[in-house]
Amino acid sequence: MSERLEDIAAAMVAKGKGILAADESSGTIKKRFDSINAESTEQNRRDYRQMLFASRAAMRRNISGVILFDETIRQMGSNGKPLVDLITAAGSIPGIKVDAGAKEMAGHPGEKVTEGLDGLRERLQEYYKLGARFAKWRAVIDIADGLPTWGCVKANAHALARYAALCQENGIVPIVEPEVVMDGPVAAHDADRCYEVTEWVLNTVFAELFEARVMLEGMVLKPNMVIAGKNAKNQAKPDEVAEKTVRCLKSTVPASVPGIAFLSGGQSDVEATEHLSLMNAMGPLPWNLTFSYGRALQAAALKSWSGKPGNIAKAQKAFAHRARMNGLAARGKWSKTEEKKKAA
């Protein structure tokens, strides 16, 4: 595979394919395992993720890349070979989460800034040797009364841009993920407020990317959709989410960005698929629109697996179905009828 940043980015958002976000940090994967009463041991985490990456047909057809956590990129599978090999054998690209998490922002009550720039150049060089060809950094922006503040938006956008420039310097495609969250502590905002904040955040991020001299052709944007907060009384209908999201992205994201891979952010798996499909059906669009889902790709598989080795085949089937549905959505071709055809 080509090592040019533009070619890697194009492969990550190739038509009908999207990204599996399997980069849950230790705290998050423990929460996910708690929900199925499984213990979060190193072996269980390995077995679960191996189950996903070994879903050969789903990976080959619909998963262009996988975002890994530090533990996973170094982990061996049950055959003693690196888990990364399972990903590359399926023609998919290994990626790595390199941020150190969103931490309380000093002087900004209720807001967070993502850390992890110190020593990032050296870490990227090591991850490259371990096989990573793209990376991910997530900024978290909460909406509440008087929030977000300019200080928070600016600091997070600046960090994203410095991260992206360092990635490109080291031959790694940056996924730039500024998430305006739909399930934050308040989350009572409507879709119009989400639109306003997302537009502000994306404009700020692209101004910072320009100043940091990031090559837009060699990056992928991972934004939220324009959607109401989970506690809002007025929930936007699927058509409205699709229309507002595309309008917001068209007014903020340059056409030189090859692709936009959404996060699911707390939407149900079917909602996340439907929204993506509606947006793609609105084409033509200046960039490829696809998925980089964590929860919305894994929820059904996680439940089917439930920590039991005997459930692996069933869980892989659930994963393959979800990956196929999102593959269809990335082409604007998902339908309720397809959804009902559970993996045969």
Please identify which residue in 295, 321, 322, 324 interacts with ligand 5MM, judged by CB under 6 A: 295
User: Which lies closer to ligand 5MM via its Cβ, residue 94 or residue 265?
Assistant: 265
Q: Is 20 in the site for ligand 5MM (CB under 6 A)?
A: no
Q: Is 143 in the site for ligand 5MM (CB under 6 A)?
A: no
Strand pairing of 112-114 and 134-141?
Answer: unpaired
Q: Which residues contact 88 (CB under 8 A, 6 or more apart)?
A: 94, 131
Chain residue whose CB lies nearest ligand 5MM: 294
In the annotation, is 31 catalytic? Answer: no
| Binding segment toward ligand 5MM, per CB under 6 A, in 17-25, 53-61, 71-79, 240-248 | 17-25
Q: Is 24 in the site for ligand 5MM (CB under 6 A)?
A: yes
CA distance 270 to 174: 27
**From the CA atom positions of the chain, what is the Rg in Å?**
19
Tokens of 175: 């996924």
Tokens of 311: 């459930």
User: Which lies closer to ligand 5MM via its Cβ, residue 180 or residue 312?
Assistant: 180
CA distance 65 to 302: 19
Q: What is the DSSP letter of 226?
A: S
| 270-273 long-range Cβ contacts below 8 angstroms, 24+ apart | 270/325, 270/339, 271/238, 271/296, 272/296, 272/326, 273/322, 273/325, 273/326, 273/328, 273/329, 273/334, 273/339
| Binding segment toward ligand 5MM, per CB under 6 A, in 120-128, 149-157, 228-236, 293-301 | 293-301
Q: Which residues contact 116 (CB under 8 A, 6 or more apart)?
A: 98, 99, 100, 101, 137, 159, 163
CA distance 80 to 46: 12
Q: How far is the CB of 154 from ligand 5MM (least distance, A)?
A: 21
Q: Is 259 in the site for ligand 5MM (CB under 6 A)?
A: no
CA distance 144 to 288: 31
Name the active-site residue from 177, 179, 208, 274. Answer: 177
Footprint (CB under 6 A) of ligand 5MM, residues 171-230: 179
User: Which lies closer to ligand 5MM via its Cβ, residue 4 or residue 39?
Assistant: 39
In the annotation, is 211 catalytic? Answer: no
User: Which lies closer to ligand 5MM via its Cβ, residue 48 or residue 293?
Assistant: 293
Q: How far is the CB of 79 from ligand 5MM (least distance, A)?
A: 25
User: Which lies closer to ligand 5MM via its Cβ, residue 30 or residue 207?
Assistant: 30
x/- contact string, 38-77, with ligand 5MM (CB under 6 A)?
Answer: -----------------------------x----------
Dihedral in degrees, nearest 10, Cα atoms 271, 240, 142, 265? 10
Question: What are the residues binding ligand 5MM (CB under 6 A)?
Answer: 21, 23-25, 28, 67, 138, 179, 263-265, 293-296
What residues are labeled active site? 177, 222
